[in-house]
Structure 1
């Protein structure tokens, strides 16, 4: 576990601060090839083990009731159909349930499809994700927590947050399972 605070004084926040306006950022685990985090993530993401995310959410002890809700980073419908599930949904939904706050599975919509970015550098990731998201028009203004599984270069999360940054009616904080 990272033992970071949910604030602006950690490596996860540093990865995002130059790309978008975020209030606070927290990552539960640090992704290192010599620890168990890669195996945990692989099981959850590619072996249909959403219960791992549910268990991991219970390790986050911050009180999140001041936020208006939790929004998972969505998969593109094509990827969702192929994989069959969004690996971060169980984690995000459990965080909302534990904290008794709203959960918006469709608060953000992925509009642009791209192939896997695992082997892409930061520049390519940022370009691939330009205009990849839209905010659901039914989402009310407020301070939301975006949730994703991995924060690597920050490209995916930054692309999503930038949509919210276009309006002064939204504030965004971020929680990820791991930071690489």
Structure 2
């Protein structure tokens, strides 16, 4: 949350409309004309409506964005977020910014790149198609059985690997 005021200032200067959910955290004291703020938003619907998604880089919102075929900018602060965003970057579907060294210029550069390049959208849409083809009800139990039996090479079983 420490980067949020800086992020909103940059997006406001760039004229980017924002749907903001702080997931029950304290509401912003400062208001921005370009920001719609709610305690909670339906993530899947918000992602489908957005041109791109900015989050903390974690997998829950990240998968919502990719499932909707939207590029992701992750402002990551922990190892899990950094690793997830590393995968998103390798897919070409987004950009990672480290929150501990994040400057306004880094945010503006990432947003400008995602807006200017159609490649991020096409790669995110490719990820969406791959995700939609997965049958979680079949794959998850199979994965658990393999983990319990220590079978197989788990890296080869990841469908998203085929996009590289």
Would you say same fold, with TM above 0.5? no
Which entry has the higher C-alpha Rg, 1 or 2? 2
TM-score normalized by the length of structure 1: 0.28
TM-score normalised per structure 2? 0.30
